Homo-oligomer: A and B are copies of this chain.
Amino acid sequence: MGKKNKTKYALLGMLSMSPMSGYDIKKLTDFSISHFWSENFGHIYPVLKKMETDGFVTKEVEETSGKPNRNIYYITPTGRQELVNWLHLPVEPPPIRNEILLKIFFADQLPTEKIIEMVAEERKKCLDNLSKYKKIEETLKADGQYMNDKRIPFWLMTLSFGVHSSKAGVSWCEETLKILEERLENSK
């Protein structure tokens, strides 16, 4: 994934659903895609500005009283084309950095009890995520509001990914805990 600007496409995608302000985009990403994507203001605002000068979006200022004015962004046909072009491009592999595995790799410098604690904590996180994903899945399937939305199947796929990888996480933790506990027994 590297140094290509993916924020751009996330923003274009959001704006392809509806015109929005930067603040709205942040709210919507946190609500709808936070299980696999994150954005932050420090990037959203400059990228929106850049995309305006590039002609991918247009801005309309909505006057408010007291609060700062809302800058509402609209995707342009060029912007829509840019989004579709990216959708057609092959997926670029991201650089990987998994902190718990880095710690495990050097874990001979750590007491076994501490490693067990760490992995147990990880297991808890995975389980928490798992139940979170399942809950959202249920709501999506049940909610009449979205019943006929043709995008639902795709949203469910992203959730299912979360379910699969959380389950994998749990089973790795449990396998690892077993080894560590055996190790602890043998060292007594």
Show the binding face of A for B, using Cβ within 8 Å: 1, 6, 9-10, 13, 16, 33, 35-38, 83-84, 86-88, 90-110, 114, 118, 121-122, 125, 150-151, 153-155, 157-158, 160-161, 164-165, 167-169, 171-172, 175-176, 179, 183
Contact = CB atoms under 8 A, between A and B. Distances in A.
Contact of A91 (B1, B16, B38, B99): B99
Contacts of A10: 102
A84 B111 CA distance: 11
For the residues of A in contact with B, the DSSP-based class is helix
Nearest to A154: B107
Given A102-B10, A110-B84, A179-B153, A95 B38 contact: yes
A122 B90 CA distance: 10
Contacts of A161: 98, 101, 172
The 8 closest A-B pairs by CB, nearest first: A168-B168, A36-B101, A36-B98, A164-B172, A164-B168, A38-B95, A13-B106, A101-B158
Contact of A38 (B6, B96, B103): B96
Contacts of A86: 103
A109 B87 contact: yes
